Amino acid sequence: MARIKVFSDLGIVIYIYGEKNERHHGKHVLVVKTDEDSQYGFDGKPIKGIKDLSNKKDRQAVSNWILSHQDELNKAWEDINNGIRPDMIK
């Protein structure tokens, strides 16, 4: 399973993991900030059962970023699951 960084800004790093034959949450990203992390679906919502980020502003920023980068995230998801390294998303 590959982990590729697709975004990094304001202390928040967003990764996409390749899940070929391991689909357990559907399309999602791993969000890391300092010493905490969470997983968000491409709908901009945290995945149920996974601890969310503690700061409300961070949660809102991540959700807004995901929702405004749907096309890029979908392409990165397809790329990584087809063995292609996706580009960073700006």
Entry pTM: 0.86
3-7, 19-23, 55-59: least confident range: 19-23
pLDDT in tens, 69-80: 999 999 999 998
- Residue 68 CA, chain-centre distance (Å), reads 13
Phi, psi (deg, nearest 5) at residue 29: -125, 155
Q: How many CA atoms lie within 13 A of 79 on its CB side?
A: 15
pLDDT in tens, 14-56: 998 877 666 666 889 999 998 899 999 999 999 988 999 999 9
